[in-house]
Amino acid sequence: MPELPEVETIVRRLRNPLIGRTFCDVYVDWERMAGASSIDLRACLPGQRVEAIGRRGKYLVFQLLSGDSLIIHLKMTGDLRVAPVSEAYHKHDRVVFDLDNGYQLRFQDPRKFGRVYLTNDAKEILGRLGPEPLDDRFTEDDFVALFDRRSGRIKSLLLDQGFIAGLGNIYADEALFLAGIQPQRRADTLLEEDKRRLYRAIRHVLGVAIEQKGSSLFDETYRGGQYQQQFLVYGRWEQPCSECGSPIRRTRLGQRSAHFCPNCQQ
């Protein structure tokens, strides 16, 4: 699933060709991706101009001149690209947005899990998300305060989008390694110094990953990212730790895997 760095990379790639453009029509090949918004997309989106494109957690947010928001979640295998109308469609193009300049915004999603929303109240979709980890207003003290009355495994907590927005398997594993915290550790056993170290690790990992345009794990979905070449633990099961040489271990937490060094992450 695209995480914060991949989504941020896509947002930055879309701004130049889309801001100022007007939607002319919408074609929905897989109705479930638009759900209740399907009728609104066809009826209300044509004629609306894109004023800004941003990100909230793993969601892309298109701010429209009318005040409405077009919100897209890529889920596991979604991607967005701008293509000329003359270009052949990909077999996994599920939602296609006609633009006023002879181009289209195409939502490609092999597994059909992605979602598209058109709303006049973005909080209906985004209101339950936790803070943005890279927001300048989100301080170490704010992060420490998030742990009040929190328990459970720290890796599972980091994946909770209501706790903090945008993290997934890759960057949670990498940040926990940098902070020296095992993913199985209970959140309520962390010392304040552990939490502050984790805050800095999260921001460092995400910042570098964005500079590297995210991680390319599947050629058709995450194009151009280079951060996978810097993975310290994620996907490196049984390979030697770059710090101490111990074999990287993998375990299961709920339905997710977790990679860690048993020596560096005591």
Classify the phi-psi angles of 41: left when phi > 0, otherwise alpha if psi is within -120 to 50, otherwise beta: alpha
Q: Is 2 a catalytic residue?
A: yes
Tell me the two tokens of residue 167: 């993290």
Which candidate in 13, 75, 203, 256 is catalytic?
256
Q: Is 91 a catalytic residue?
A: no
Which candidate in 5, 6, 8, 58 is catalytic?
58
What is the rounded CA–CA span in Å between residue 266 and residue 180?
7
Q: Is 58 a catalytic residue?
A: yes
Alpha-carbon torsion angle 50, 29, 101, 13, nearest 10: 60
Residue type, 43: A
Report which of 9, 141, 6, 128 is spatially closest to residue 76, judged by C-alpha positions. 6
Which candidate in 2, 5, 133, 183 is catalytic?
2
Tokens 């998030």 locate to: 146
Q: Is 155 a catalytic residue?
A: no
Active site residues: 2-3, 58, 256
